Structure 1
Amino acid sequence: MTTPDQQSPAPRPPRPLTRDRIYRSPMGLAGGVLLLGLVGWLGLDAILVGEGRTPWLALAALLLVVPLIVAFTLRPAVFAGEDRLRVRNPFRVIELPWGQVASLRSGYTNEVVTDAGDKYQLWAIPVSLRARNRAARKEARRGAEAGGDGTARARGAGGSVGALGDGPVRAEGDEIMHGLRQTLEAREKAQSAQGEVSVRWAYEVAGPAVAGAVLLVVLLAVG
């Protein structure tokens, strides 16, 4: 018999089927780290050894530039879960249940389109025309080796960028978009993947940048 002190604990909420897949731009991350290092070195040097208004100007410039570098290089990411797609762009975070996603389009940029017709660019998944051309050449060579019958398709897929088994060779960004489309097709009708699209502005990024811009303008105006 169970006493009041021995009651079973409350059931835990169900865990998601899988963890979110996170997509970020390696080139953006590397460029952001390099830019932050360069800007930080120049700014701190001006603050420590500068004279007159120089330290204050350097401080204002850092307050303006550092958030912008973070916003456009380190911050962008795409989180693909079982029930929703979360897009973290430089100044906004968009959460889209799969049931609200109409399509995922790839052109000169990658973007998600909602049922309401709203479009949101996927900053973390950039388009590389060079990578597309390279993938197209590999696919053409693989087709030529197969002699048109597809028998060599699996042989060349293992070492090709963006290859999926015996599917076509794709650029890395196009391969990611293909995977997102597959998730959309599988989950858009699920009950747990319904809801409303939410958009939140990243004030934690925009606020310091605006403050730095205002301080810089004031310092330049007062001479």
Structure 2
Amino acid sequence: MTTPEDQSPAPQPSAPETKDRVYRSPAGVAGGVLLLGLAGWLGIDAILTGEGRTPWLALAALILLVPLIVAFTLRPAVFAGQDRLRVRNPFRVIVLPWGQVASLRSGYSNEVVAVSGKKFQLWSIPVSLRARKKATRRESKAAAGRTGGQEVRGSGGFGGLGGGSLRGGGTVPDGPVRAETDRVMDELRQLWESREKAETAQGEVTARWAWEILGPAVAGAVVLGILLAVG
């Protein structure tokens, strides 16, 4: 029989770690897979069936092209955590604590600006002007519905806070219509604004070159150049 002094307190469950939000370009990933498949098909066929220097040229071209295809299509990603923003671009990886972020800007490209003034493009969140124009047209139609007497408010049971609806069964969006990448940037801004003052979100900006991409690409370029020069 145990006494109260012998009983140790039950361990408290630790708070679950919040996973980073990962943002990639679906079109870029799909294009990269297609390009890798095409390059592999043509390159391996040339290696197996080519004559003379053709197999060596094909091999060198593959060593050069595959890292570049991966760099510009599959590799780019943005990882947004509670304490930092990690930007994985084709040839560099940049880590910015939220306290070192000055702004997140959207123009003809999406970019993050550090407190020091340095700008880093977000390759995995490309701007689509076509998507923006489409979103603008949808917002104009929604605004016309809201101001044209078609919106119904006050019909909900929460003091007039029910969502509005268009005649004919359509629904008026609660907020402005935004392009997908613009919505992503809005999410990043909200996370930045909520975490920039946190003690754990301070530190220095770091950037490193992606030698795992640059090394093979440079090696392939050198070998290809030698083979072409030798003739």
* Superposition TM-score tier, normalisation by shorter sequence: 0.7 to 0.9
Q: Following superposition, which runs of at least 4 residues in structure 1 exceed 6 angstroms of deviation?
A: 11-14
Cα distance change of structure 1 residues 26 and 12 upon mapping to structure 2, 3 Å threshold? same
Query: Unmatched 5+ residue regions in structure 2?
Result: 3-7, 153-162
Q: Determine if contact 2:104/2:189 at 8 Å carries over to the other structure.
A: yes
* Normalised TM-score (structure 1): 0.87
Partner of 1:107: 107
Q: In structure 2, what is the Cα distance between the partners aligned to 1:12 and 1:218? A: 61
Q: In structure 1, what is the Cα distance between the partners aligned to 2:150 and 2:212? A: 52
Q: In structure 1, what is the Cα distance between the partners aligned to 2:148 and 2:118? A: 41
Cα distance change of structure 1 residues 144 and 93 upon mapping to structure 2, 3 Å threshold? same
- 1:202-213 maps to which residues of 2 (within 5 A)? 202-213=210-221
Query: Unmatched 5+ residue regions in structure 1?
Result: 2-6
Partner of 1:138: 138
Q: Determine if contact 2:79/2:87 at 8 Å carries over to the other structure.
A: yes
Q: Determine if contact 1:23/1:77 at 8 Å carries over to the other structure.
A: yes
- 1:113-152 maps to which residues of 2 (within 5 A)? 113-147=113-147, 151=151
Q: In structure 2, what is the Cα distance between the partners aligned to 1:151 and 1:181? A: 31
Report the Cα offset of residue 166 of structure 1. Answer: 1.8
Q: Which amino acid aligns with 2:230?
A: V
1:186 aligns with 2:194: yes
* Normalised TM-score (structure 2): 0.85
Report the Cα offset of residue 155 of structure 1. Answer: 4.3
Partner of 2:181: 173
Q: In structure 2, what is the Cα distance between the partners aligned to 1:148 and 1:187? A: 40
Report the Cα offset of residue 114 of structure 1. Answer: 0.3
Q: In structure 2, what is the Cα distance between the partners aligned to 1:82 and 1:150? A: 42
Q: Which amino acid aligns with 2:43?
A: G
Q: Determine if contact 2:97/2:203 at 8 Å carries over to the other structure.
A: yes
SS at match of 2:112: strand
Q: Deviations over 1:152-176 (max 9, x none)?
A: 78548xx99xx9x622110000000
Q: Determine if contact 2:99/2:196 at 8 Å carries over to the other structure.
A: yes
Q: Which amino acid aligns with 1:140?
A: S
Q: Determine if contact 1:143/1:150 at 8 Å carries over to the other structure.
A: no
Task: Give the total of aligned pairs.
Answer: 211
